Amino acid sequence: IAPRPHNSGHYTIDATVTNQFEQQVRVLAGLPLGSARLHSSAVMVNLLGDVWTNSKTKEPHWDKAFKEPGLKMHLYGKHEARPGRKMGHFTVLDEKLEIAFQKAMEVRKLFGIA
């Protein structure tokens, strides 16, 4: 258990009624927790600095990735990419988990993530 919002729960930003950040505010404010119900199946993938540093173009293929229906991109605004540094994440939403997983794997390939 992490006493803070955690990377493993970032999918909640896009896929649940109440995300982990709001849940933390509710706890700190003495409010009841919100619903953690999923409104969509979701697969989240971290974007490490390797995506930028290992690329021949120095930028991921954003144009191709954003063509994927259900893609939600979250970049953390870090100025310098380094191997292993968390630069952001993306979440793919779909009614069916299997389809969200397939789409996420396709986007991973676009970013050169093995």
Instruction: Decide if 2 is inside a domain.
Output: no
Residue 80, domain CATH: 3.30.470.20
pTM for this prediction: 0.87
Q: How many domains does the chain have?
A: 1
Under a CB-based contact definition with an 8 Å cutoff, are residues 9 and 91 in contact? no
Residue 56 domain flag: yes
Residue 24 belongs to a domain: yes
Rounded distance, CA 9 to CA 22, Å? 12
Query: Does residue 92 lie within any of the structural domains?
Result: yes
Domain, as residue range, for 60: 7-110
Per DSSP, the three-state class of 75 is: strand
Residue 1 lies inside a defined structural domain of this protein: no
Contacts of 85-88 with CB under 8 Å at 24 or more apart are 85/48, 85/49, 86/7, 86/46, 86/47, 86/48, 86/49, 87/47, 87/48, 87/49, 87/51, 87/52, 88/46, 88/47
**Structural domain includes residue 31:** yes
Predicted pLDDT of residue 47: 95
What pLDDT does residue 61 have?
Answer: 82
Question: So what's the pLDDT on residue 57?
Answer: 64
